A and B are shown apart, each in its own frame.
Chain A
Amino acid sequence: MDIITNLGIGLGAVLTPENLLFCLLGCLLGTLIGVLPGIGPLVTIALLLPATFSLPPLSALIMLAGIYYGAQYGGSTTSILMNLPGESSSVVTCIDGYQMARQGRAGAALSISALGSFFAGCVGTVLIAALAPVLSLVAQKFSAPEYTSLMAFGLIASVVLAHGSVVKAVAMIFLGLLFGLVGTDVNTGQQRFTFGIPELSDGIGFVPVGMGLFAIGEVIANLHNTQQRSFLTSKITGLWLSRKDFKESWKAVLRGTGVGSLLGILPGGGAILGSFAAYMVEKKIAKDPSRFGKGAIEGVAGPESANNAAAQTSFIPLLTLGIPANPVMALMMGAMMIQGIAPGAAVMAERPQLFWGLIVSMWIGNLMLVIINLPLIGIWVYFLRIPYRLMFPGILMFCCIGVYSLNNSTFEVLMTVGFGLLGFVFIRLGCEPAPLILAFVLGPLMEENLRRAMLLSRGDPIIFVQRPISAVILAMALALLIVLVLPAIRKRREEVFVE
C-alpha cells in the first residue's frame, strides 16, 4: 500500500523531539486563541510568521497548522460555557451547547465536541492522505481556464458565509479583487494604483489587510458595545457521556464529518461553512426538530465535528492546486513561500518528507488536543476571567509587532491603521470582510489565469464552458449563485444566522 509507506515517511519525519514540541506548541497556542474571543487563528499565524523564518520548513508548517486546527477545539469551550463563540466557526455550537450547559450537561457537551472533533480530525487526515495524490493527478490536467473557474467558484462560495445581504457580499468581492491588483502588473510592468509609493509596487501586504480588517476593526467595534460580558461560567460536572448521549450523537458526528470534509475541500469553504451546514443538516433530518435550540446533543456533535474536518481538508486545495481555500490558508501559503516551497502538486513529489510529515503531524496534533482540552479544561476557563480592558491592548500590541516585524516596515503598520478604519466602517455598514480578504488573495492569481485563458482562446470566453472540468466547476458555481438568490433559501439562511 502506497499510503502506508507514505504515512511511514511522514511519521519518520515528525517523530523528532523538536517537531513534536512545535506541534504541541501550535496546539496549545491554537487552543488558547480559540478560547479567547477577539483573537483568531488569522492574527496569531500572522504574528508568528516572522518567528518561523529561522525554523526548518517542516517545524514551521507543523506549528502553524496546529494553531489553525487547535483553534477549532478551543473555540467550542467558550461557546458551550459562556454562549460566546471564541472562534467564528463555533458560532453555531453556542445554540445548543450553551443550553446543554444551562441544563447541567456542560461536561457532556464538552466531551462530545472534543471527541467528535478528534474523530473528524482523524478522518480528515486520512482523507488528505488518500485524496491528495489523486487530486494532484487531476491538478496536472488543470490549466488557466480551470484555475480561473475554480477561483470564481471559491469566491461565490465565500458569499454563502457572509452575514446579511448577498449584493453587499458580492460588492466586497469586487473590492477585494481590486485591492489585490494594486502593485506592478506582472505582464507589462505597469504600476497600478501605487500613487508613486515605492512600498506599494509589490502590492498591498496581506498581513496589514488581515490584521486591520479582522483584529483592529473588531476591537473598535467591541469597544463600542459597552455591554458587560458575563463571567458566570457554568460548573462542569462529569465529562463522561451517558449511553443515551452516545447513542444520540454518534450518527451526528459521522454526518458532521462528512459534510465538513466535503465543504472544507472546496475553495471558499472551510471551518465556518462546514459547521453551519452541519447544523442545518442535523436540524433537517431530526425526528423532532423542536429540540434544537434547547440543548440537543446532535446540535453540538454535528457542527463541532464538521468544523474540525473542514479545518483539516481545507489544506487539500493548497497542497494539491496551490490555491488557498480561505484566508488562513493564504497565510500558510505565505509561510511556505517564505521557506522557498512553491505550494502545489509538486510539493508531494519533490518534498515527500515535508508533505507527509505535515499530514501525520495533524493526526498527532489532534491526539494532543483531546488531552489538552478535556482534562485540562479548567485551565482554559481560567483565562476567560481576564477582563477585556486588559486583553485588547495586548491584542493590538501583538498586531503592531506582528505587522512591523514581518518586513521591518513602518509603512505596513500605517497601512494597518487605514485598513483598521475601513474594517470598522465595514462592520458598521453590515459588510462582512471575509469575502473581501479571500478575493484580495485570489485577485492576482485570478487575473493572471484569466488573461492566459483568454490568450489561449483568442479572446473567446466560450473556452470556460468548452473544457469539461471548467464547465462542471462553473455549473456548480452558477447553481450556488441561484440557490443564494432564491428567496426561500435566503430566508432559511437568515434564520440560521439570526439564531
Chain B
Amino acid sequence: MIRVKSVQDFLAGLLFVAFGVIGAWIAQNYPFGTAVRMGPGYLPVVLSWCMIVLGALIMGRSLVIEGPGFGALKLRPLVFVLGCVLVYALTIEKLGLVISTFLTTVICAYADTEMRWVETILLGVALSVFCVVTFVYGLSLPLSIWPD
C-alpha cells in the first residue's frame, strides 16, 4: 500500500496536473502551428504538458519524502471573506456604494470569531462614509451613492 507522506505536496502536484490536463485538453482545439509559425495553440499545449510533468514529479516526491499536511480547514473565514467580495460584486451596481459597503463590511467582519456587533456596525458606517467622501467626492470616481 502506497502511503502519501506529504499531503501538502500531493495536493499541490494534483492541482498542477489538473490545470495541465484542462489546459492541454482545451488547447488541442486551437491550431498548433509549427516551430517557425507557432499557432495560438503551440505555447498553451507545451506549457500544459510541462505542468503535467512537474505536477506528477511533485506528486511522486510526496510519496517518498515526508512533509507537512494540509492543516485544519476552517470554513468560517473562507466562506465569509469570499462571500463578502461576492456580495460586493452583486450589490455595488444595484444598491449603490453606501449600502453595498455596509453589507460587505458586516459580512466580512463575521469571518472573525472575535467580531462584536456594535463595533462592526460602527465600522460599517465609518467605512461607508469614508468611501463616499474619498472615492466619490475626493477622487470623483463614477460610483452611484444610493440605489437608482
Mark A residues whose CB is within 8 Å of B. 50-51, 54, 165, 167-168, 170-171, 174-175, 177-178, 181, 185, 187-188, 190, 192-193, 216, 219-220, 223-224, 226, 388-390, 392-394, 396-397, 399-401, 404-405, 408, 410, 413-414, 416-417, 420-421, 424-425, 428-431, 447, 450-451, 454-455, 458-459, 461
| Docked pose: A399 CA to B85 CA in angstroms | 9
With known contacts A185-B40, A430-B68, A400–B85 Cβ distance under 8 A:
yes
| Docked pose: A4 CA to B32 CA in angstroms | 53
- Report the count of interface residues on B (CB-CB < 8 A): 71
* Pairs of residues from A and B, 9 with the lowest C-beta to C-beta distance, nearest first: A459-B36, A223-B77, A413-B89, A459-B35, A185-B40, A190-B40, A429-B12, A51-B139, A171-B54
With known contacts A192-B40, A430-B12, A454-B36, A400–B47 Cβ distance under 8 A:
no
A-B pairs with beta carbons under 8 Å apart, 29 shown: A171-B58, A174-B16, A178-B44, A178-B48, A190-B30, A220-B78, A223-B76, A223-B111, A223-B112, A224-B71, A224-B77, A226-B113, A389-B115, A390-B123, A393-B104, A394-B127, A397-B101, A401-B131, A405-B135, A405-B141, A410-B89, A413-B88, A414-B86, A417-B82, A420-B85, A429-B8, A430-B12, A430-B68, A455-B36
| Docked pose: A401 CA to B85 CA in angstroms | 10
Q: Which residue of A lies closest to B135 (CB)?
A: A401
Q: Which chain A residues border B84 with CB–CB below 8 Å?
A: 393, 396, 400
How distant is B90 from chain A, measured CB to nearest CB, in Å?
A: 7
Let me know if B5 is at the binding interface, CB within 8 A.
no
How distant is B86 from chain A, measured CB to nearest CB, in Å?
A: 5
Q: Which residue of A lies closest to B22 (CB)?
A: A193
Mark B residues whose CB is within 8 Å of A. 8-9, 11-12, 15-16, 19, 23, 26-27, 30-31, 34-41, 43-44, 47-48, 50-51, 54-55, 57-58, 61, 68, 70-72, 74, 76-78, 81-82, 84-86, 88-90, 92-93, 101, 104-105, 108-109, 111-115, 119-120, 123-124, 127, 131, 135, 139-143
| Interface of chain A: mostly helix, strand, loop or mixed | helix
| Docked pose: A459 CA to B15 CA in angstroms | 33
Q: Which chain A residues border B30 with CB–CB below 8 Å?
A: 185, 190, 192
| Docked pose: A171 CA to B30 CA in angstroms | 23
Q: Which residue of B lies closest to A460 (CB)?
A: B35
Is B8 a contact partner of A393 (Cβ separation < 8 A)?
no
